[in-house]
C-alpha cells in the first residue's frame, strides 16, 4: 500500500501537472531559456517533461509492475527459468547474498518471436538505476526495436528483478542476466560468439558485471559472448556518485538526478557491502576482458566524464573498446531518444554499432 507521503505527492503532481507542462511549453520558446544553447525547442520541452516523470518516480519510490503473463506482448513474451543443469552457477558471487535465490523471469523479443532458433542474438538489458524500467514495449521498447532494425538481428530483452523488490538487491539482476544468457546458449543453441550483450544505463552496468563474472568465475564453465554494447552505462555506484551528478555543469540539461542515483545505489547495494565493490561500481575498478566493447555516451550528460575515463582505463589494460560520443546529447538516448528529440542521433549511433559488430562478430 502506498505511503501517505506517496499519496500526497501523487495528488500534488497530478494537480499541478497541466500548469507545469503549460509553463514548460511557454518558458522554452526563447532560445536563451533553454537548458542547452544548441538545443531546439522540441528537445528542451521533451527533456523537461520527461524529467517530471523521473522526479516523481524517484520521490515516491515508484514500483514498476512486473508479471510473468504475456499481456499485450503475446507470443513475443517468454518465461526463462533459472538454469537447473549447471550446478556451478549456484556458487561464488551469484550466491554472495544467501537470501537472494534465482527466480523465473520474463523476457520480450523484438521485433517478434523468431520463427526458428536464431543464429545470432542481441541480449539487451534496460536501464532505470536498478529501481525503475522494464522489458515491455511501453517501458523500453523503442531502443531494442531500432537496434534490431539496423542490425537485422533479433533482440531479447529480459525483465530482470529490480532492487525495489524484496530480496532483490545485488546479485539478483546478475543472476537473471546469467540465466538469460544460459537460455540462449542451452535452450536455443546459440553459440557464445554469436551472442551480443547490450545494456543502457544500469543495463550497461549489468553487462559489465556479467562480463566480469564470466571472466573471473572460470569454474562456471560459461564462455564469453562475441561483443558488448554499453549505452550511457552507469559506472559509478559509490557514496560520491549522487553528489557528483548534482554538482555537474550539465545537470540542467540532463534528467539523471542525484536523488535517483542515491536511491538506486541504496537499494542495489546489499546490506553490509561497500558501495565501491568491483561488481557494482566498475569505474576505477576496470578489468581485462576478451570481449570487444562499444560505448556510446552523450557529451551533454552528467556522467560523460565517467565514460571517457572508463574507456581510457580499459584501453590501458589492453581491451578492445570503441567509443561513440554524441554531441549535445543527454543521458541514454538509446532508450529515450524518441522522447528527447534525439532520434537521428540515436539511430546514427546504432548504425555505428552495426559497423562495429560487423567487424568484431561478422554475422551482421
Residues designated as active site: 201
Measured distance CA(308)–CA(26) in Å, rounded: 36
Question: Collapsing DSSP states into helix, strand and coil, what is residue 11?
Answer: helix
The backbone torsions φ and ψ at residue 298, rounded to the nearest 5 degrees and listed phi first, read: -95, 135
Dist CA 331 CA 36 (whole Å): 14
For residue 41, give the H/E element and its range.
Answer: helix 41-60
Residue partners of 19: CB distance under 8 A and separation at least 6: none
SS3 content of the chain, % helix, strand, coil (to 5): 45, 10, 40
Task: Please give the grid coordinates belonging to residue 160.
Answer: 530482470
DSSP 308-329: HHHHHHHHHTT--EEEEEETT-
**How is the beta sheet containing 293-298 ordered, strand by strand?**
77-80, 105-110, 155-159, 121-125, 195-200, 227-231, 293-298, 321-326
Q: Which of 173, 148, 170 is nearest to 66 (CA)?
A: 173
Q: How far is CA 278 from CA 209, 210, 215, 216, in A?
A: 8, 12, 13, 12
Distance of CA 329 to the CA centre of its chain: 17
What angle, rounded to 10 degrees, do the helices at 142-151 and 343-360 form?
A: 50
Output the DSSP codes for 116-147. S--SSEEEEE--STTTS--SSHHHH-HHHHHH
Give DSSP secondary structure letters for 56-97: HHHHHT------SS-GGGGGGEEEEPPPSS-GGGSSGGGGSS
Amino acid at each position: 500500500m502506498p505511503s501517505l507521503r506517496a499519496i500526497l505527492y501523487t495528488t500534488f503532481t497530478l494537480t499541478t501537472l497541466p500548469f507545469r507542462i503549460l509553463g514548460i511549453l511557454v518558458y522554452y520558446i526563447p532560445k536563451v531559456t533553454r537548458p542547452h544553447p544548441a538545443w531546439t525547442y522540441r528537445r528542451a520541452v521533451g527533456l523537461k517533461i520527461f524529467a517530471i516523470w523521473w522526479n516523481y518516480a524517484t520521490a515516491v519510490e515508484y514500483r514498476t509492475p512486473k508479471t510473468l503473463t504475456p499481456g499485450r506482448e503475446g507470443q513475443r513474451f517468454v518465461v526463462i527459468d533459472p538454469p537447473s543443469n549447471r550446478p556451478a552457477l549456484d556458487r561464488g558471487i551469484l550466491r554472495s547474498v544467501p537470501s537472494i535465490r534465482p527466480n523465473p523471469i520474463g523476457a520480450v523479443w523484438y521485433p517478434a518471436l523468431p520463427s526458428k532458433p536464431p543464429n545470432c542474438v542481441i541480449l539487451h538489458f534496460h536501464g532505470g538505476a536498478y529501481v525503475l524500467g522494464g522489458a515491455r514495449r511501453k517501458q523500453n521498447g523503442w531502443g531494442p526495436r531500432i537496434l534490431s532494425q539496423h542490425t537485422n538481428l533479433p533482440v531479447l530483452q529480459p525483465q530482470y528483478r529490480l532492487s525495489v523488490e524484496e530480496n532483490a538487491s545485488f546479485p539478483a539482476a546478475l543472476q537473471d542476466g546469467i540465466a538469460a544468457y544460459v537460455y540462449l546458449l542451452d535452450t536455443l543453441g546459440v553459440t557464445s560468439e554469436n551472442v551480443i550483450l547490450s545494456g543502457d544505463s544500469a543495463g550497461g552496468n549489468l553487462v559489465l558485471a556479467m562480463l566480469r563474472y564470466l571472466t573471473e568465475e572460470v569454474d562456471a564453465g560459461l564462455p564469453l559472448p562475441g561483443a558488448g554494447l554499453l549505452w550511457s552505462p552507469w559506472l559509478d555506484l559509490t557514496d560520491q556518485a549522487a553528489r557528483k551528478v548534482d554538482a555537474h555543469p550539465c545537470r540542467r540539461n540532463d534528467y539523471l538526478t542525484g536523488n535517483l542515483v542515491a536511491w538506486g545505489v541504496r537499494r542495489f547495494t546489499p546490506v553490509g557491502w561497500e558501495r565501491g565493490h568491483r561488481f557494482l561500481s566498475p569505474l576505477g575498478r576496470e578489468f581485462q576482458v576478451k570481449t570487444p566493447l562499444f560505448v556510446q555516451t552523450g557529451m551533454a550528460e552528467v556522467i560523460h566524464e565517467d565514460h571517457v575515463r572508463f574507456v581510457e582505463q580499459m584501453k590501458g589494460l589492453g581491451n578492445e573498446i570503441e567509443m561513440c560520443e554524441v554531441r549535445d546529447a543527454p543521458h541514454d538516448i538509446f532508450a529515450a531518444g524518441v522522447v528527447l528529440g534525439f532520434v537521428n542521433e540515436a539511430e546514427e549511433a546504432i548504425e555505428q554499432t552495426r559497423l562495429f559488430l560487423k567487424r568484431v562478430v561478422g554475422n551482421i
